Amino acid sequence: MQPIKAGLIIFLLAGCAGQESMRRLAGSSATVLNEYRRELKGFADRQTALNADVDRGVRDFGELQSMRDAAVEQRLFALRVAGDKPALDTYALLTAQSAADLLAQSSLLRPAQPAPASPSIAFDASAAERVTRQLNELRQPRSFWDQLLRGVAYRTELQATYRASLESATRRTEAASEETAQAVVNVTSGDN
């Protein structure tokens, strides 16, 4: 009886001695994870702002194109009013191809096309917050009774998982046995 009590006391003391290290590690991990989550959110916010700036640039480029088109129309109107047939013929010759045809033919002009709208970056911090919360719970000192209750709960969960895996294995074994028996019946009766 005495060796069992001494072994239990040594086990409990060894478990308590490692708890402070475990709490420090959990605290450090929670701090690092929380900082990583903040930095990742900051990155997502900066990337979203950058995407918005690119979209504004594309819109500005479209507005400039519209202003240029209006200026061209004014100039053409002035040339028509002035009756400058050679200038109008030259313009017609130069604009015989559409912009889409020119872009398709010229590899130098393709990069000048507006970029497609970029999506905003979403960051779901719920998983990181959940892990941080669990690590902060581990960080807290536990009483002997908390440890005992936690051990009992762990054992119960482990036992339930073990029983579920045994039941699953039993069902698979029974199904395989039935298939084997059916195959034997088919072979003996000649139904290949």
Q: What is the pTM of this model?
A: 0.37
| Domain extent at residue 155 | 144-192
186: pLDDT strictly greater than 80: no
Domain total for the chain? 2
5: pLDDT strictly greater than 50: yes
Q: What mean pLDDT do residues 77-102 have?
A: 81
pLDDT at 8 (0 to 100): 47
Confirm whether 15 is domain-assigned: no
111-150 pLDDT, tens digit per residue, is 666 666 666 666 677 777 777 777 777 777 777 787 788 7
Grade residue 80 by pLDDT with cuts at 50, 70 and 90.
confident
Are the CB atoms for 54 and 115 separated by under 8 Å? Answer: yes
Nearest in space to 24 (alpha carbons), one of 138, 128, 133, 146: 138
Answer yes or no: do 41 and 66 share one domain: yes
Alpha helices in the chain (DSSP H): 2-82, 85-94, 99-105, 126-139, 144-189
Confirm whether 9 is domain-assigned: no
Mean pLDDT score across all residues of the chain: 76
Answer yes or no: do 43 and 104 share one domain: yes
Answer yes or no: do 26 and 81 share one domain: yes
Comparing 182 with 80, which gets the higher pLDDT? 80
Confirm whether 125 is domain-assigned: yes
Are the CB atoms for 15 and 142 separated by under 8 Å? Answer: no
139-149 pLDDT, tens digit per residue, is 777 777 877 88
Q: How far is CA 38 from CA 50, 83, 129, 135, in A?
A: 18, 67, 11, 17
Are the CB atoms for 114 and 63 separated by under 8 Å? Answer: no
